[in-house]
Amino acid sequence: MQSEKPEKPEKPDKLANPDRFSRQASYQEGLPENSLVGTASSGSISLRRVHCLLCPHNCIINVGRSGVCKTRVNKNGVLYTMAYGNPCSISVDPMEKKPLFHFFPGSGIFSLSTAGCNFRCLNCQNWSISQKAPSDLQYYDMKPQEVVAEALRHKSSNKELHITSSIAFTYTEPTVFFEYMYDIAREAHKQGVKTVMISNGYINRQPLLDLVPYLDAANIDLKCFDDAIYHKLTGGSLQPVLDTLKTLKERGVWLEITNLIIPSLTDDPDMIKAMCEWLAENGFADTPLHFSRFFPTFKLTQLLPTSPECLINSKEIAERAGLKYVYIGNLPYLRGENTHCPKCGKTLVEREGYRVTEMKIETHIDKNFDADAAINDSTGLCGFCGEKIAGVWG
């Protein structure tokens, strides 16, 4: 995600044996025994290939090889994840950096990632960790319980940033360290710690359904609204991401969406209009949409940054389509990251960079509060006209 870049952590004390962090992977199946090859000396042998069912790539993986993500490896016919307990990046970030603007704004969140990703984004700003295997990098040794304990420790010790008890899976692609994320999220909920996933949304339905009971919020990077461009830019496809958006919305996970506007690739006004109309027609009118400015990086250094005019025009397109909360990121002087009431138009949350400087949202516990729901801690109301403001405010 363009606006999400980790602070550089201190180097870990040691570089551990990668095999120490392997776990048998979820969501796999062996291929039928008719998957045989003949040899001159022994007749026939099984290829022992495995089918990974975690994401829509649905990789068929040979013995000794990894999937697209570089984290899931076929060991003698059984799929293992090599991304468990070995985060390569950890930091405490402002919630606005994710970006999440309607989920405990102004708070801090303990953030981590492992190596690996199931996309090959030409514009990836975190390519030095996302395009690596876990064994390629130095990493921390942190069991799920230790991650939760560290998040709670930062909440009590940080005096500069108000930190909600929360953990973000971020920086690379959380789907590829699914088992680690799942175990952290489940432990976090046991201890009253909220969890957030910053993701490309490229995950199969069943793993996502298994995760959402332990997930409070997500920001999904919707790269564009054209399948051919999606494939060119990422190696993935559009429809699975749209399916993820629908599932998260249906299951009550607080959701925000980021769309990075890349000149000559994802900046076509008609495509942006089609995307915004699809969002409005499919129940996402109250879902914050973050248009983010592109800066040349990785394999797209030949392009120019997104023009302010393009970002402003995209915001106007989204609002005309019926989206209520539209933001412009990576262009601070436009003041495009303030939250406004969709009814009276007054500024409710004023931001300078990642810092919240003023907040005019009143909160109260919803009378229909459901203790079993993932979110709904409080309802936000405009401090001027009383309009309900979608989000999780405190």
Distance CA 357, CA 155 (A): 20
Res 333: pLDDT? 84
How would residue 21 be classed by pLDDT, with cut points 50, 70 and 90? confident
Residue entry with tokens 């990075």: 260
Handedness of CA 14, 17, 21, 25 (dihedral sign): positive
Predicted confidence at residue 46, as pLDDT, reads 55
- 379 pLDDT band, cuts 50/70/90, is confident
- Distance between CA 81 and CA 133 in Å, rounded? 11
Are 354 and 96 contacting, i.e. CB atoms less than 8 angstroms apart?
A: yes
Mean pLDDT of 24-52: 70
In the chain, which segments carry CATH 3.20.20.70?
Answer: 89-338
CA atoms within 13 A on the CB side of 29: 5
Residue 128 has pLDDT above 60, yes or no: yes
Average pLDDT of 46-50? 82
Sign of CA dihedral 305, 272, 279, 229: negative
Mean local confidence (pLDDT), 133-162: 85
User: For residue range 315-341, what is the model confidence (pLDDT) as tens digits?
Assistant: 999 999 999 999 999 998 888 999 999
∠ at Cα 201 (251, 65), nearest 5°? 125
The share of the chain scoring above pLDDT 90, in percent, equals 81
Cα–Cα distance measured from residue 338 to residue 361, given in angstroms and rounded to the nearest whole number: 12
**Reported confidence tier of residue 19, pLDDT bands at 50, 70, 90:** confident
More confident residue, 379 or 54: 54
Which of 49-58, 162-171, 228-237, 272-281 shows the lowest per-residue confidence on average (mean pLDDT)? 162-171
Give, for 227, the enclosing helix (H) or strand (E): helix 227-234
Q: Across residues 106-125, what is the average pLDDT? A: 97
DSSP structure string for 76-144:
TTEEEES-SS--SEEEEEEGGGTT-SSBSTT-EEEEEE-S--S---TT-TTHHHHTS-GGGS------H
Q: What is the pLDDT of residue 33?
A: 56
Average pLDDT on 199-212 reads 99
In this predicted structure, what is the pLDDT of residue 365?
Answer: 58
Q: Give residue for tokens 């980021």.
A: 258
Binning pLDDT at 50, 70 and 90, where does residue 71 land?
Answer: very high
pLDDT(42) > 80: no
Place of tokens 């991304």: 83
Query: With 0-12 CB in 10 A as exposed, 13-18 as middle and 19+ as buried, what is 237?
Result: middle
> Looking at the domain covering 89-338, what would its CATH class be?
alpha beta
269-281 and 308-320 helices, crossing angle to 10°:
30
Which uninterrupted H or E stretch holds 247?
Answer: helix 239-250
Task: Name the 3-class secondary structure at 186.
Answer: helix
* Whole-angstrom Cα Rg for the chain: 21
Using the predicted structure, report yes or no on whether residue 300 has a pLDDT greater than 70.
yes
The pTM of this model reads 0.91
More confident residue, 354 or 12: 354
Q: Are 151 and 167 in contact (CB under 8 A)?
A: yes
How many Cα atoms occupy the beta-carbon half-sphere of 70 within 13 Å?
18
In tens, the pLDDT along 23-34 reads: 999 999 988 753
Tell me what pLDDT residue 334 has: 86
Between residues 374 and 367, which one has the greater pLDDT? Answer: 367
pLDDT of residue 377: 53
Q: What is the DSSP string of 280-306?
A: HHTT-TTS-EEEEE----TT-TTSPPP
Looking at every residue in the chain, the average pLDDT score rounds to 90
Is the pLDDT score of 1 beyond 60? Answer: no
Share of the chain above pLDDT 70, in %: 86
